[in-house]
Amino acid sequence: MTSIMIDTGNYIAAKAAVMAKPDVVAAYPITPQTTLVEGIAKYLATGEFKGEYICVESEHSAMAACIGASASGVRTFTGTSSHGLLLMHEMLHWAALARLPVIMCNINRVVGPGWNIWADENDSISQRDTGWIQFYCSSNQEIFDTVLQSFKLGEHQDVSLPVMISYNAFILSHTSMPVYVPNQKDVDDFIPKRKPKWELDVNNPITFGNIILPHEYEKVRKEMQKAQENAKKLIPQISEEWKKKFGRYHGDLLELYKCNNVDYILLSMGAIGSESKVAIDNLQKNGYKVGLARVRTFRPFPKEEVLKLGKKADLIAIDRNISIGSEGALFSELKASLYQKSDAKVHGFIAGLGGKDVTFGDIEKMCKKVIDGKAKDMEWFGLEGV
């Protein structure tokens, strides 16, 4: 029986994680992730979570503990945010190179200095090259569904990579929304028991992380790339299976919204992605031919799907991040996806850094500026005092 739970993004993520029945959760609290791990601790107290909860002294240790547990063949989960994620950086590479499917929620928060706990995607964007699969969610329901889908995806034999599920600080992490929660039996049927690609076993001793010579190391990287390509094929399948089983769907690699017969397509991620839907409704009502493609997975990046969009429309990117010295990360990816295959124009906006609100009105303004031919290639939206 499906029930409805009204709660914040973090408590919803905790519920989803516990329903996946991880054997080990190792975590360290950090605002705005705190209530996520607090939620799991609550389920430990009530007996609903039957795994091992390891309280560690830092995020580096949290990820190291998850890696150790995952290497022994069990299911693991953790959560972090911003500086916590950055402290994990080295261990993120370890998990991915060792092909260990650690599942982790990251609550997108500003990176300091300048102590600021609001939404900004620079924390996870700066981890994009670690080999982790990256999802960006736009509602609490999507957080719930994506956490459970991620266990199936990450632990799949053709993938075996860690998965990061990101969602915006406070806008989702601390905002209550109603979420459909399926019954445990159906979730159990959806996620098979983990079959590790390799495991540390005293009866079959092997070494993990030993010396590796150049020609062997290259192969490891190539296999990781292949696994991400496999994930690209599996994500649509898993989303489809979820839809059939539970009736909900948030798109596959992209979520297309009103993209038929348009001249422009807006691409955005996270909470700005759901806000964009309101903007698109208003713009289309007023005769602007612009649709939305919300990016769900940043790694693997949906190059082929973006190219399809770029063959029928010009693209607009909104980035809640910036690769300093270059441009918004999504903006770069869009242009790379079209390179030599499409002449579509691409415009990029940097918006909402430091947790600044990005409203549907703001998104409409950005789109109108492009459609009216007044936008530069790359712009900072609504920068005060400029």
Partner 1 sequence: MKKYDVVTTISYPVKGAMGKTGNWRVFKPILDKKKCVKCLRCWIYCPEATIIRNKDDTVDIDYVYCKGCGICANVCKVKAITMEREAKKK
Residues that bind partner 1 (CB under 8 A): 97-99, 160, 197-198, 201, 204-212, 219-220, 222-223
What is the C-alpha separation between 113 and 120, in angstroms, rounded? 14
Q: How far is the CB of 116 from partner 1 (least distance, A)?
A: 37
| Between 223 and 241, CB nearer to partner 1 | 223
Residues listed for the chain? 386
CB of 199 to partner 1, least distance (A): 8
Maximum Cα–Cα distance across the chain: 69
- Both tokens of residue 9? 């993004």
Q: Which is nearer to partner 1, 97 or 353 (CB)?
A: 97
| Angle at CA of residue 278, ends 321 and 350, nearest 5° | 20
Task: Say which residue the tokens 């981890």 belong to.
Answer: 127
How many C-beta neighbours within 10 Å does residue 45 have?
10
Q: Residue 202 half-sphere exposure, CB side, CA atoms within 13 Å?
A: 0
* Least spacing, CB of residue 70 vs partner 1, in Å: 12
Beta-bridged to residue 349, according to DSSP, are 318, 379
Nearest residue (CB) to partner 1, 3 versus 204: 204
Question: Taking Cα atoms as reference points, which of 166, 79, 182, 160 lies closest to residue 121?
Answer: 166
Least distance between partner 1 and beta carbon 41 (Å): 32
Nearer to partner 1, 110 or 159 (CB): 159
- Which two three-digit tokens encode residue 310? 């770029």
CB of 192 to partner 1, least distance (A): 18
Tokens of 204: 């079959």
Nearer residue to partner 1 within complex by CB, 200 or 307: 200
The residue (of 30 and 64) whose beta carbon lies closer to partner 1 is: 64
Can you tell me whether residue 283 is helix, strand or coil? Answer: helix
Strands 378-380 and 3-8, by their bridges, are: unpaired
Least distance (Å) from partner 1 to the CB of residue 90?
14
Phi and psi at residue 294, to the nearest 5°: -85, 130
The DSSP code sequence of 117-129 is -S--THHHHTTGG
Q: Least distance (Å) from partner 1 to the CB of residue 69?
A: 16
221 vs 376 by CB, closer to partner 1: 221
